[in-house]
Amino acid sequence: MQSSVSPRLEVHLGDVTANSARLVERCAARSISVMGITKGLAGSPLLAQAMIDGGVSGLGDSGLANIDATRAGGVWASTTLIRTPSRSQIDQLAVSDLASYQSDIETLSLLSAACVVAGQRHAVMLMVELGDLRDGIMPDDVVAHARHVRDLEHLDLRGLGANFGCQSGTIPDDRSLNVLSELAATIEAELSIAVPVVSGGNSSNLDWLRLTADVGRVNELRLGEAIILGRNPSTRLPVAGLSTEAVVFVAEVLESKRKPRRPWGPTGYTAIGRAEPGASVESADQPGDENDLEWHTVLAAGHQDTDPSGLTPIDDVLLVGASSDHLIIRSRRRIAPGSEMRFLPDYGAMARAAIAPSVTMLAIP
């Protein structure tokens, strides 16, 4: 029997659907809808379909190419571009049926002009900065931006969105989310337009959702990591009741030999991944003695295929290092060349593997 191609990302679609369904149910209990975020697997249509099967009410992705990939795979759903567009994307956005996140006043004007040319209306979410110092309009300027959207031709304000836990690791709480709810109310009162959607954040909002007495105006969350990996990105802890094994990274064993634990000879910078010579590897003057020996196994995947620091071996082995092309494992026993080792990837390791041409994505029903 021919073994499957590796390195590969196995995606267990049943787990993704089940995770989606549980999260949709929990959010629905607070009158919150779930947007399924597909960028973690590069817009994979099978991932998107599994999310839809689990009941998400729309899809979101940060990349137009990812959204194209989802749709080329035959999955069409109401979709939002969740990274604010660059100027070069405006014309494509204007002729699309996507909604988009926006945070720049000039970009809004350009988008409006392009929509007029295209003869199409476009729904806009204004991204509000609430402390994570990523993208977003400072709270004091949000009403002015909403007025701008109201007054521009062919644009419709769909709502406000905020984001936490990305750039600075901020954790959403009642205080920050109340700012979002109050801004929605102020826009409605001052500008006489509706703010139908208040999108409170991502998977890092799930503890807030569980603990808050009042979700305020928040009626949408955008969930990627919790659906795909079953974890809250702020705590890295599993979300209760979800599978954390929906995605597995698999690499093939190339060699397995007894080798010393420590390198020998002078050391300098490594090719990728270590900042200072000798910073985390203690080198020896001579090859180590017998007691130093244990099984050293080399796998056919490296920094070019994934983020090795985000992999957790499923077997009882230690992942001790990586080069651009290799993962290095230490173990008590020999691991046969030609066999495969399995790892649970974190979001970064998964996302890098998903866009690496060298890594195959294998969907498993």
Ligand X SMILES: *Cc1c(COP(=O)(O)O)cnc(C)c1O
Tokens of 80: 């939002």
Residue whose C-alpha is closest to residue 197's, from 212, 184, 209: 184
Closest approach of Cβ 189 to ligand X, in Å?
A: 27
- Which one-letter amino acid corresponds to residue 232? N
| Binding flag, residue 202, ligand X (CB under 6 A) | yes
Gap between the Cα atoms of 124 and 103, Å rounded = 10
Binding to ligand X, residues 319-348 (CB under 6 A):
none
Of 277 and 348, the one with the shorter C-beta distance to ligand X is 348
| Binding flag, residue 225, ligand X (CB under 6 A) | yes
Residue 105: its H or E element: helix 105-118
Of 254 and 355, the one with the shorter C-beta distance to ligand X is 355
Binding to ligand X, residues 56-115 (CB under 6 A):
62, 82
Sorted by sequence, the CB contacts under 8 Å of residue 250 that are 6+ apart come out as: 4, 6, 7, 8, 9, 10, 340, 341, 342, 343
Stretch that binds ligand X, among 71-79, 152-160, 210-218, 223-231 (CB under 6 A): 223-231
Of 195 and 301, the one with the shorter C-beta distance to ligand X is 195
Gap between the Cα atoms of 81 and 66, Å rounded = 10
Quick note: the x/- pattern for ligand X over 3-42, rule CB under 6 A, is ----------------------------------x-x---
Gap between the Cα atoms of 326 and 309, Å rounded = 13
Tokens of 322: 């990586």
Of 208 and 299, the one with the shorter C-beta distance to ligand X is 208
Structural Rg of the chain based on CA atoms:
24
Q: How many CB atoms lie within 10 A of CB 92?
A: 14
Closest approach of Cβ 80 to ligand X, in Å?
A: 9
Of 58 and 224, the one with the shorter C-beta distance to ligand X is 224
Closest approach of Cβ 344 to ligand X, in Å?
A: 16
Look at phi and psi of residue 273 and say left if phi exceeds 0, alpha if psi is from -120 to 50, else beta.
left
Stretch that binds ligand X, among 181-189, 220-228, 249-257, 303-311 (CB under 6 A): 220-228
| Binding flag, residue 163, ligand X (CB under 6 A) | yes
Closest approach of Cβ 37 to ligand X, in Å?
A: 4
Of 253 and 354, the one with the shorter C-beta distance to ligand X is 354
Of 37 and 354, the one with the shorter C-beta distance to ligand X is 37
Closest approach of Cβ 178 to ligand X, in Å?
A: 20
Look at phi and psi of residue 154 and say left if phi exceeds 0, alpha if psi is from -120 to 50, else beta.
left
| Binding flag, residue 203, ligand X (CB under 6 A) | yes
| Binding flag, residue 132, ligand X (CB under 6 A) | no
Sorted by sequence, the CB contacts under 8 Å of residue 355 that are 6+ apart come out as: 42
| Binding flag, residue 206, ligand X (CB under 6 A) | no
Gap between the Cα atoms of 243 and 127, Å rounded = 31
**Contacts with ligand X, residue ranges (CB under 6 A):** 37, 39, 62, 82, 163, 202-204, 222-226, 233
